[in-house]
Structure 1
Amino acid sequence: MPRNSSTKPLPSTPDPNPSAIKLANLELEITTTFSDQTTTGSPIDGGHKAWRLLLSAFVFESLLWGFPLSFGVFQEHYTRIQEFRNSPYISIVGTTASGISYLGAPFVVPFIRRWSKYRTHMILVGWPLFIIGLGVLYGIGFIIFYYPILSMVDEYWIRRRGMAYGLLCSASGVSGAVTPLSLQALLKQYGHRTTLRGVAVFLFVVTGPLIPLLKGRPGQKQNRQQPTHGTGRFFPALFLPSYASSIGLSTSKGALLLALMSVSQIAGQFTFGYLSDKRTSVNALITVSVSIAAIATLSAWGLARSIAPLILFALLYGFFGAGYTAMWARMATAVSEEPSAAQAIFGMFNFGKGVGNIAAGPISAGLLR
Structure 2
Amino acid sequence: MPRGTNLNAMELETRNSPTGHVADGSCRIPTTSASTPEYGSPLAAPPRPEFSLPPADSGKDAWLFLAACWAVEALVWGFGFSFGVFQDYYTTHLPFKGTGNIAVVGTTTLGVMYMATPVVLILARFRPRWARWFTLGGLTSAAVVMALSSFSTTAGALVATQGVLFGLAGCVAYCPCILYIDEWFVRRKGMAYGITWSAAGFGGVVLPLLLETLLAQFGFQTALRAWACALFVLGVPISVYVKPRIPVPAATQVRNPLRNVRQSLLSRRFLLYQVANVVQATGYFLPAVYLPTYARSMFGASTLLAALTVLLVNVAATVGSVAMGWMSDKVPATTCLVVSGAGAAVATLVLWGLTSSLAGLYAFCVVYGLFAGCYTSIWPGIMRELASRSSGRQDEEGAEDAGGPQYTDPTLIFGWLCVGRGAGNVISGPLSDVLISGQPWAGGVVGGYGSGYGALIVYTGVSAVLGGSAYVWKRLGLL
Q: Which category describes the TM-score, using the shorter chain as reference length? A: 0.7 to 0.9
RMSD across aligned positions (CA): 2.8
In the TM superposition, residue 188 of structure 1 has moved relative to its aligned partner by 2.8
In structure 2, C-alpha distance between the alignment counterparts of 1:109 and 1:28, rounded to whole Å: 16
1:58 aligns to what SS in structure 2? Answer: helix
In structure 1, C-alpha distance between the alignment counterparts of 2:357 and 2:104, rounded to whole Å: 26
In the TM superposition, residue 299 of structure 1 has moved relative to its aligned partner by 4.8
Amino acid at match of 2:319: A
Give the corresponding residue for 1:69: 81
1:235 aligns with 2:213: no
Task: Note the residue ranges of structure 2 that are not aligned, 5 or more in a row.
Answer: 15-19, 23-51, 147-161, 265-269, 392-406, 438-479
1:266 aligns with 2:294: no
Aligned CA distance change for structure 1 residues 301 and 212 (closer, same or farther; 3 Å): same
Give the corresponding residue for 1:347: 415
Asked whether the equivalents of residues 8 and 252 of structure 2 are also in contact (C-alpha less than 8 Å), the reply is no
Aligned residues, how many? Answer: 346
In the TM superposition, residue 60 of structure 1 has moved relative to its aligned partner by 1.1
1:329 aligns to what SS in structure 2? Answer: helix
Residues 155-180 of structure 1 show CA distances to partners (whole Å, capped at 9, x for unaligned) of 11122110100100111222223222
In structure 2, C-alpha distance between the alignment counterparts of 1:105 and 1:64, rounded to whole Å: 13
Aligned CA distance change for structure 1 residues 42 and 98 (closer, same or farther; 3 Å): same
Say which structure, 1 or 2, has more relative contact order (CA 8 Å, 6+ apart): 1
Asked whether the equivalents of residues 5 and 410 of structure 2 are also in contact (C-alpha less than 8 Å), the reply is no
In structure 2, C-alpha distance between the alignment counterparts of 1:347 and 1:212, rounded to whole Å: 24
Asked whether the equivalents of residues 6 and 182 of structure 2 are also in contact (C-alpha less than 8 Å), the reply is no
1:291 to 342, 345, 360: 342
Greater helix fraction, Structure 1 or Structure 2: 1
In structure 1, C-alpha distance between the alignment counterparts of 2:434 and 2:77, rounded to whole Å: 26
Residues 49-88 of structure 1 show CA distances to partners (whole Å, capped at 9, x for unaligned) of 2111111111111121111112122223333346545444
In structure 2, C-alpha distance between the alignment counterparts of 1:30 and 1:359, rounded to whole Å: 37
Larger Rg, first or second structure (1 or 2): 2
Amino acid at match of 2:214: L
In structure 1, C-alpha distance between the alignment counterparts of 2:8 and 2:241, rounded to whole Å: 25
Give the corresponding residue for 2:182: 154
Q: Trace 1:271-350 onto structure 2 (pairs within 5 A).
A: 271-278=323-330, 280-301=331-352, 307-337=358-388, 338=391, 341-350=409-418
In structure 1, C-alpha distance between the alignment counterparts of 2:178 and 2:6, rounded to whole Å: 23
In the TM superposition, residue 294 of structure 1 has moved relative to its aligned partner by 3.4
Give the corresponding residue for 1:54: 66
Residues 101-149 of structure 1 show CA distances to partners (whole Å, capped at 9, x for unaligned) of 0011122222111111111333333222323241111111012221122
2:409 aligns to what SS in structure 1? Answer: helix
1:42 to 51, 54, 61: 54
In the TM superposition, residue 195 of structure 1 has moved relative to its aligned partner by 2.1
In structure 1, C-alpha distance between the alignment counterparts of 2:96 and 2:363, rounded to whole Å: 31
Q: Trace 1:205-244 onto structure 2 (pairs within 5 A).
A: 205-217=233-245, 218=247, 219-224=250-255, 225=257, 226=260, 227-228=263-264, 229=270, 230=274, 231-232=277-278, 233=281, 234-236=284-286, 237-244=288-295
Amino acid at match of 1:290: G
1:33 aligns with 2:11: yes
Asked whether the equivalents of residues 241 and 255 of structure 1 are also in contact (C-alpha less than 8 Å), the reply is yes
Asked whether the equivalents of residues 72 and 173 of structure 2 are also in contact (C-alpha less than 8 Å), the reply is no
158-167 vs 182-191, which moves further:
182-191
Amino acid at match of 1:33: E
In the TM superposition, residue 320 of structure 1 has moved relative to its aligned partner by 0.6
1:65 aligns to what SS in structure 2? Answer: helix
